[in-house]
Amino acid sequence: SLQDKNALHLYSVNGKYLGSETLKEEVSDLCVTGEYIVMGSLQGFLSIRDLYSLSLSISPLAMKLPIHCISVTKEYSHILVGLEDGKLIIVGVGKPAEV
């Protein structure tokens, strides 16, 4: 099935295999920022994973439409998500009081 074909693999700078994580969604874009991987899927989920363990940092956020692109502001305060219908969703990062 298609679920068995999607995986995230982690390698060191020297090419040493460090681990992998099987994914349920088809990744359309990802962005590595600091110690996190921010990923968007064609199934409409925004996921944030730890860079070293590849585990989910929070539950995936449903955007309800396929995600075409992701960007993170240089202050790491917001995630910009471009959807299939042309909408731009801005997601605040941090505690609610900080956002």
Does residue 98 belong to any structural domain of this protein? no
Predicted confidence band of residue 71 (pLDDT cuts 50, 70, 90)? very high
What's this model's pTM, rounded to 2 decimal places? 0.84
Q: How many domains does the chain have?
A: 1
* Percent above pLDDT 70 for the chain: 91
Does residue 45 belong to any structural domain of this protein? yes
Does residue 28 belong to any structural domain of this protein? yes
Does residue 44 belong to any structural domain of this protein? yes
DSSP per-residue codes, the chain = -GGGG-EEEEE-TT--EEEEEE-SS-EEEEEEETTEEEEEETTSEEEEEETTT--BSSPPEE-SS-EEEEEE-TTS-EEEEEETTS-EEEEE-S-TTT-
**Choice between 2 and 5, residue whose per-residue pLDDT is larger:** 5
Tokens describing residue 10: 């982690």
What is the CATH classification number for the domain harbouring 71?
2.40.128.630
For residue 98, what pLDDT is reported?
Answer: 53
For residue 38, what pLDDT is reported?
Answer: 96
Over range 3-19, report the average pLDDT: 87
